[in-house]
Amino acid sequence: MSAPVSASLPGLLAGERPARRRTVRGFVQAAARRKTFTIGVALVLMFAFCAVFADTVAQQSYSRVNYKAKMLSPSAEHWFGTDDQGRDSFSRVVHGTRMSFRVALVSVLIATLVGVPVGLFAGFFGGWADVLISRFLDAMFAFPVFLMAIAILAITGVGLQGAIIAIGLISIPEFARVSRSAVIAEKENDYVLAARAIGSSPARIVFRQIAPNIVGPIVVLISLGFAFAILNETALSFLGLGAQPPTPSWGSDLADGRRFLRDDPWLCVFPGLAIFLFVLAINLTGDGLRDLLDPRDKRR
């Protein structure tokens, strides 16, 4: 005989799922078994350390011009060499990490604060609101992302602040679409139906019952949004639309170094390697989080 409905209501109203109840220790053990996830986290922590302690890691100035020391090859004094203005390339790459973190954090925060509530509203209430929001999102998806960013920069103005706003705005549709899909999958579950049956308000159902159970997809989307933001900021800076000199940026350093690619390839190699490793680390971390937060994953 099944348990009485009254006995199961507290668990249903709390949105509890036995398959998802995990201890911190179990989560750490499961994470340690995934080698690619561990490598990704280690690389992300390394870049985060460089961003926070950039002045300590790279003690030479990233903006001081010294034409007597221009175009030097990598050496013990200048690990990544110097550029055509005599600036230390290692310092510029390290401080570029701080700038990339700043762009990623702020732009993803914008996309999360706007896109997730919009998706929650559309997915939960449905009807005409869902239709209007979905069609608006479809229209935004129809535009090439990069061209939309350039159009936004034409309004906000060229520079780092404009790039952050543009990247945040073009990320909103993806955040709204994912959160909407997650809410639609959750709102017909028993614990939501039970909350409705006892007269819980829509706001309470969404934020107290549904939201905790869709944290997994949102966390994964946020992690992958970091990689998206970094790649787009790099592309905008490469075109001269992002960070402006002398602000260190991997994209602008690549643009400056391409003129000397044949004779002095290190000017492009090191910024390009930093972009590759950072984006790879974020993708590995995001894929690992997706597996760890998936209740159907058996490797726990």
37 closest CA partner among 295, 287, 293: 287
CA pair distance 206, 150, nearest whole angstrom: 35
Check residue 27 and give its pLDDT: 65
CA pair distance 243, 250, nearest whole angstrom: 10
Residue 71 lies in a domain: no
Residue 212 lies in a domain: yes
CATH number at residue 114: 1.10.3720.10
Residue 75 lies in a domain: no
Check residue 107 and give its pLDDT: 94
209 closest CA partner among 239, 238, 189: 189
89 closest CA partner among 240, 242, 244, 254: 254
Residue 125 lies in a domain: yes
Check residue 19 and give its pLDDT: 41
Check residue 115 and give its pLDDT: 92
Domain residue limits at 252: 24-60+89-292
Residue 133 lies in a domain: yes
Residue 300 lies in a domain: no
Check residue 229 and give its pLDDT: 92
Number of domains in the chain: 1
Beta bridge partners of 88: 82
Q: Which two tokens stand for residue 190?
A: 């028993």
One digit per residue, pLDDT tens: the chain, 300 residues? 444 444 444 544 444 444 444 566 766 777 777 888 899 999 999 999 999 999 899 888 888 888 888 888 888 888 998 888 889 999 999 999 999 999 999 999 999 999 999 998 888 888 888 899 999 988 888 888 888 899 899 888 888 889 999 999 999 999 999 999 888 888 877 787 787 788 777 778 887 778 878 888 888 889 889 999 999 999 999 988 888 888 888 999 999 888 888 888 888 999 999 999 999 999 998 888 877 776 555 454
Cα 127–chain centre separation:
31
Residue 119 lies in a domain: yes
Check residue 294 and give its pLDDT: 63
Residue 50 lies in a domain: yes
